[in-house]
Structure 1
């Protein structure tokens, strides 16, 4: 961060933090890294920890009074603070550890500004809460334009499956109506949400608890909303504490079609 970092707006802070984390992730890629067991088959690597430490350093320097929730280090700052950042320093850890560069660095302020960095393409997708753009290089910003033309739908197949048996993502992929209209993809990282906002995916579907409060999903949701995507729970209701899962679609027609498949799994 430079001496003028406190002059950045919140979107600029999110972008700077995500860029700094992405640099760590890119630098450590391919090395033999220590793993930290988190239980249930989940783990973090030294890259997760170092990237989060770097991101927190940027956030604390720019917004010292804000609270932060980091995936690896937990809560920082005043628990009653109105402003809270959500940080996922390396979404796609299993991919990364296996030598697969499909990962994302997610930084989001709960009120809307957010950034998702792809460490390997150099793209940083970001929003001020009103518009969504992608930056590659220093100042080369392009507005994100969702489209379903590619027909690719990314589905999160990672367990657990809290809505089963009513909804299981694997059943959606097996639905005859899905194959008639879409082509499935499984990135196993929320980079896919940024790709919905950017028109690289028609939609993204996942199960789980309130994604808007999750370090994994908050930044991608903010991007999709600012880009004009349709974002709901898998039950079609607005996402929040009472909703289940997430459907982020490039347009209303794609969203309606996916919801019809989810509601009629046979």
Structure 2
């Protein structure tokens, strides 16, 4: 593996790392796995832990001077490292634990390259920070977002820091939302890769600064590089003061969603 990493650019490293994690997730699927309790009903499985180990091995071998923030293992490397990788080895652990294949493996260099792997379709969505691609069966295709499906994923997992002004669940019953869109609830940030790829028209979630989240960083990078419209739920740019996330295939779809969200907040 180490020799195969020589000469890779950052997108190549992100892709190799995401694939290494995806191989573990796929190989351990359906097995009875040990769980580590993380509190508040959350847990990690042995697949989460082993996938993260494999991802970290790739990053350490290819970029030994970089820092890493892993969901399960915390921070690695020099505390003052200028470059930091963000790793979510299995996004959708609850899905995975009950036999659902709706999961993702996320690897992102902060403000740079990123990759999101779907362990079961074999797709790896990747970006160098400027353009975005999907790789499958040895072939690359540029990501092309489109609102044509009219499908919008709404994340209903807590926490809900912007309630009561914004409640994601309320979108599902809003007349203007159901007139234009068809809601889906995926409960994994694979949905962001699907927005970038044209499989979803948009994705909406509550939260704070999601650019600093191992769960969301890779998907946000993909959407931005693919040309999606990406803001907080208040329409403001993402960042330290951010409020949640609206990632839409185009500006028109984003505007329609913001209109619904604003009308919801006014009613509250």
- Map 1:57-96 to 2 at 5 A: 57-96=57-96
Task: Name the structure 2 match of 1:47.
Answer: 47
The two structures have a TM-score, normalised by structure 2, of 0.98
Asked if structure 1 preserves the Cα contact closer than 8 Å seen for 2:2 and 2:62, the reply is: no
CA distance in 1: counterparts of 2:195 and 2:186, whole angstroms: 12
Q: CA deviation at 1:159?
A: 1.2
Task: Name the structure 1 match of 2:188.
Answer: 189
Q: CA deviation at 1:111?
A: 2.2
Task: Name the structure 2 match of 1:235.
Answer: 234
Secondary structure in structure 1 of the residue aligned to 2:159: coil
Q: CA deviation at 1:174?
A: 1.2
Task: Name the structure 1 match of 2:26.
Answer: 26
- Map 1:209-220 to 2 at 5 A: 209-220=208-219
Secondary structure in structure 1 of the residue aligned to 2:172: helix
Task: Name the structure 2 match of 1:174.
Answer: 173
CA distance in 1: counterparts of 2:163 and 2:6, whole angstroms: 46
Q: CA deviation at 1:220?
A: 0.3
1:169-189 CA distance string (max 9 Å, x none):
001111111000000001100
CA distance in 2: counterparts of 1:172 and 1:263, whole angstroms: 11
Secondary structure in structure 2 of the residue aligned to 1:3: helix
Q: CA deviation at 1:4?
A: 4.2
Q: CA deviation at 1:6?
A: 3.1
- Map 1:120-159 to 2 at 5 A: 120-138=120-138, 140-159=139-158
Secondary structure in structure 2 of the residue aligned to 1:205: strand
1:10-31 CA distance string (max 9 Å, x none):
0000000000000000000000
Displacement over 4 Å in runs of 4+: none
CA distance in 1: counterparts of 2:252 and 2:79, whole angstroms: 41
Q: CA deviation at 1:160?
A: 1.5
Secondary structure in structure 2 of the residue aligned to 1:193: helix
User: How many corresponding residue pairs?
Assistant: 265
Asked if structure 1 preserves the Cα contact closer than 8 Å seen for 2:195 and 2:223, the reply is: yes
- The alignment's C-alpha RMSD in Å is 0.7
| Ranges in structure 1 where 5+ consecutive residues have no aligned partner | none
The two structures have a TM-score, normalised by structure 1, of 0.98
Asked if structure 1 preserves the Cα contact closer than 8 Å seen for 2:171 and 2:177, the reply is: yes
| Ranges in structure 2 where 5+ consecutive residues have no aligned partner | none
Task: Name the structure 1 match of 2:114.
Answer: 114
Secondary structure in structure 2 of the residue aligned to 1:36: strand
Q: CA deviation at 1:60?
A: 0.2
Asked if structure 2 preserves the Cα contact closer than 8 Å seen for 1:6 and 1:61, the reply is: no
CA distance in 1: counterparts of 2:212 and 2:146, whole angstroms: 26
Q: CA deviation at 1:132?
A: 0.3
CA distance in 2: counterparts of 1:189 and 1:38, whole angstroms: 18
CA distance in 2: counterparts of 1:77 and 1:154, whole angstroms: 35
1:136-167 CA distance string (max 9 Å, x none):
023x0000000001000000000121100000
